[in-house]
Amino acid sequence: TASEFRRVARRFVRDIGSATGFDLPIADRRRGGGGITLRRVPGIPREGYRLDVTVTGIVVQASDSAGAFYALETVKQLLPPAIYREAEVRGVAWSVPAVHIEDAPRFPWRGSHMDVGRHFQPKAFVKKYIDLLARHKLNRFHWHLTEDQGWRIDIRKYPRLTQVGSCRDNTLVGSHTDDPAKQVFDGRKHCGFYTQDDIREVVAYAAERMVTVVPEIEMPGHAQAAVYAYPFLSSTTDSIPGLRRMWGVSPYIINPSDRSVSFMQDVLTEVMALFPSPWIHIGGDEAVKDQWKANPEIQARIRSLGLKDEHEMQSWFIRQMDTFLTKHGRRLIGWDEILEGGLAEGATVMSWRGMAGGIDAAKQGHDVVMAPGSHTYFDHYQSQNQASEPLAIGGFTNVEKVYGFEPVPEALTPAQAKHILGAQSQLWTEYIPTPRQLEYMAYPRLTALSEVVWSARSRRDYGNFMQRLPVHLQRLDALDVNYRRLDGAAIVP
């Protein structure tokens, strides 16, 4: 609509005003020569645009506001990198080369994930991160809000989730180990959560930048913080030793009782009120079922429901959430473990354990987001010389490997391949305690992935990308991003 295009124009004027000092007026009709004209033109692909720059002015054509937004992001990229600075820059010729561009994204899902459960990240940084996604034409922010180590979202009906579940007493120092004799803890509390007003602010900020915020509430595993806050959720009679202070996978898993189902659906009710996203992520990964196996009541429940084993019990639990979300007009999305025991109807799979889960789901007619650890886990080392890098969880994923990632497996037919919505990066924060270190792990790898998910496969060229990257790094400098230098020479504060 005209009002949506006007909002896009206002944001562009604000963005370039800081560095240029310009205060560009916005009008419904073009007045005289020059200027930037936004035109709504039916038939242009969703999120796509046509951009013409001539001596008489700039003309943007798009069928939706997202296309107009991305066209103006391209205009900023055509300007000198100093356009991204927050303070006025004098002595710069703010000129744009004459171009004709027709552009549209390859995938509708172009995203990045951030885990704030292990290490809480301030609201201001979350907004900065979303802004960076938008500048890379990425449109999904997957916000991993709950974990064994911390519950980060205010749920009004269950206040202990944040009163108790958002603050752990200690955090493991150094690499993960299960040997108590080798474990060293920092002796400091790690606390933090987002109020509902915080979340509304972030969601609105993202929407203005064409980013959909997809919330994740982990269940039934990765739930030690919730189980500690509300012990009736527990699958064991053993006492719960607070929030998890180290990494790895917790044995504490939500009891699949009717009361637990109602509890989690109450949580999702408040989540849906805060997040307009069509997708609600329920986790479903790494749910250790030893406590289910050892609990006679849960074993009896498995039998009474006519289920075969604990995998089918998890599938039943996930189906309760799927039915609930569907009834409210939302779609369930979960990690590829939700395939085990039968996939809930209508569910979308996020394939992290390689590509196999995504292939299976697509062949079954389910939508898929590719997120394989091999290419999109940005908590991995960026150099094979690990001693030269900040402590990380392991692995090796450099810019070249990310750029070489192909989200659509050859094993799929063209009809099956249509179920691949796109791909996203993952930033698990066991070893990423600060915003500056998170930026170091994200960029420029996320710059490479942004081109993978936007550009046609036939147009991707790593050599050409590397020729263009140094200028883009100047933009990241202007945006005060603590990216990893291409020579590896950077210090993480």
Report pLDDT digits (tens) over 244-256.
Answer: 999 999 999 999 9
- Is residue 260 pLDDT above 60, yes or no? yes
Same domain, 52 and 115: no
- Is residue 493 pLDDT above 60, yes or no? no
Q: What is the pLDDT of residues 189-204, one digit of tens each?
A: 999 999 999 999 999 9
Full residue range of the structural domain in which residue 346 is found: 109-478
Q: Mean pLDDT over residues 377-383, rounded? A: 97
pLDDT for position 270: 99
Same domain, 434 and 322: yes
Per-residue pLDDT band at 345 (split at 50, 70, 90): confident
Per-residue pLDDT band at 32 (split at 50, 70, 90): low
Of 69, 103, 137, at which residue does a domain stop?
103
- Is residue 102 pLDDT above 60, yes or no? yes
Count CB-CB contacts under 10 A for residue 30. Answer: 13
Same domain, 66 and 176: no
Residues 6+ apart with CB under 8 A from 275: 199, 203, 213, 214, 215
Same domain, 203 and 99: no
- Is residue 481 pLDDT above 70, yes or no? yes
User: What's the rounded Cα separation, in Å, for the pair 245 and 188?
Assistant: 11
Same domain, 92 and 135: no
For residue 203, give both structure tokens: 């969601």
Count CB-CB contacts under 10 A for residue 164. Answer: 16
To 10 degrees, what angle do helices 258-274 and 196-208 make? Answer: 50
Of the chain, the percentage scoring pLDDT greater than 90 comes to 92
User: What's the rounded Cα separation, in Å, for the pair 17 and 320?
Assistant: 50
Domain at 23, CATH number: 3.30.379.10
Within a domain: 483: no
Pairing of strands 49-54, 99-103: antiparallel
Within a domain: 488: no
User: What's the rounded Cα separation, in Å, for the pair 188 and 165?
Assistant: 16
Within a domain: 490: no
Q: Mean pLDDT over residues 96-124, rounded? A: 99
Of 81, 103, 125, at which residue does a domain stop?
103
Buried b (16+ CB within 10 A) or exposed e, 4-29: ebebbbeebbebbeebbeeeeeeeee
DSSP string, 16-85: HHHHH-------SS--SSSSEEEEE-TTSPTT-EEEEEETTEEEEEESSHHHHHHHHHHHHHHS-GGGG-
pLDDT for position 490: 59
Same domain, 422 and 300: yes
Same domain, 286 and 191: yes
Domain at 359, CATH number: 3.20.20.80
- Is residue 491 pLDDT above 60, yes or no? no
Same domain, 85 and 118: no
Mean pLDDT value across the chain? 96
Q: Mean pLDDT over residues 207-231, rounded? A: 98
In the numeric block, the tokens 């429901």 are attached to 305
Same domain, 313 and 334: yes
Within a domain: 485: no
Of 103, 133, 152, at which residue does a domain stop?
103
Same domain, 81 and 191: no
Per-residue pLDDT band at 488 (split at 50, 70, 90): confident
Within a domain: 431: yes
User: What's the rounded Cα separation, in Å, for the pair 379 and 374?
Assistant: 11
Same domain, 9 and 89: yes
Within a domain: 437: yes
Same domain, 96 and 117: no
- Is residue 480 pLDDT above 90, yes or no? yes
pLDDT for position 492: 56
Within a domain: 146: yes
Three-state SS for 454-483 is HCCHHHCCHHHHHHHHHHHHHHHHHCCCCC
User: What's the rounded Cα separation, in Å, for the pair 185 and 174?
Assistant: 9
In the numeric block, the tokens 């800081």 are attached to 18
Q: Are 101 and 73 contacting, i.e. CB atoms less than 8 angstroms apart?
A: no
- Paired with 333 in beta bridges are 281, 348
Within a domain: 235: yes
The structural domain count of the chain equals 2
